[in-house]
Structure 1
């Protein structure tokens, strides 16, 4: 059964409106974690009826914005070569992902307020798996410390990244210095303690 041109046109318009709304949410929440649905509707150039027709609550829209940013970040990070020395991989991963994390800091702040903490962790699970796997390989190759669980090291790195992003947003850290500082801190956290070097 074929669809009428009018119905197909309405569906295309609906998809276009939904895309505009998510893009507007990313932009508004990126500037202000407390941006309202009205702010986002104005940014998208749509009315409240259209906005709520696609996203029935602010929570749903905040989640869609975070999912969009995480997907964009995943595309960038997939291109990072992690096959060599895990220390080089960690530095490349941090430096490549830094800008994305900084841009997402305000959106993440909105998500942490609007969404259950378990949901935020669930959405981050796939991107963070890349870090966990790299740390475990570094531990297996004895270039990362093994006295602390990989999951805990990854959690510490997560807090370093988002803490630095918060400082950039607050004007306490120069964004041009942040990638180097964060990479150095990440490597320091994972480094094998000097007392254990050369021991079995």
Structure 2
């Protein structure tokens, strides 16, 4: 008969297997949003039947990978000092979390082709809200522009992040340059326009 410890051991083994599969999914889908179940199972070092034992569909696995990546991003961002000048906060956020931002963006691309649109928006709500709050603070401080709708500015920021993530994935932007390029680009977009010079009296 199985021992009493067999159950906990099996659960621990299953948890390790799930963690390995999710980690492999994050890596595989970040590199290729169209990565297949076979690709992910191979990267995780497990068979397809083992993977399907934990995730019945590719959609479930994509969602688990995205949720895990977003949770990792939240942990990283929670350590960032969010006080002070909004421009400096933005630079700190992008510098400290660019790799996670790039990964989450790639996973969002995978999710958009797999999960219902409503679920993608739900998962993306917290990161979008953080950017919106930061842009709003910068507007209140007079350092970010107010001549465009805030929703549009937030969308533009996410488009830049998405484009940079794709550029690093395809090699058009070096990984070592990504954080600096993204930060400079977004700061230039959000910067409050300089006052028009006064004409001659």
| TM-score of the superposed pair, with normalisation by structure 2 | 0.87
Provide structure 2 residue ranges, at least 5 long, that are not aligned to the other structure.
none
Give the structure 2 partner of residue 83 of structure 1: 83
Paired with 2:195 and 2:19, the residues of 1 have a C-alpha distance of: 54
Give the structure 1 partner of residue 111 of structure 2: 111
CA RMSD between the two structures:
2.0
Provide structure 1 residue ranges, at least 5 long, that are not aligned to the other structure.
none
Q: Deviations over 1:77-101 (max 9, x none)?
A: 1111121011111121122222222
| TM-score of the superposed pair, with normalisation by structure 1 | 0.88
Give the structure 1 partner of residue 156 of structure 2: 156
Paired with 1:117 and 1:196, the residues of 2 have a C-alpha distance of: 43
Paired with 1:147 and 1:31, the residues of 2 have a C-alpha distance of: 37
Question: Does the residue aligned with 2:176 lie in a helix, a strand or coil?
Answer: coil
CA shift in 2, pair 1:186/1:78, >3 Å: same
Question: Does the residue aligned with 2:171 lie in a helix, a strand or coil?
Answer: coil
Residue 118 of structure 1 deviates from its aligned partner by 2.6
| Equivalenced residues, count | 195
Residue 128 of structure 1 deviates from its aligned partner by 2.4
CA shift in 2, pair 1:196/1:113, >3 Å: farther
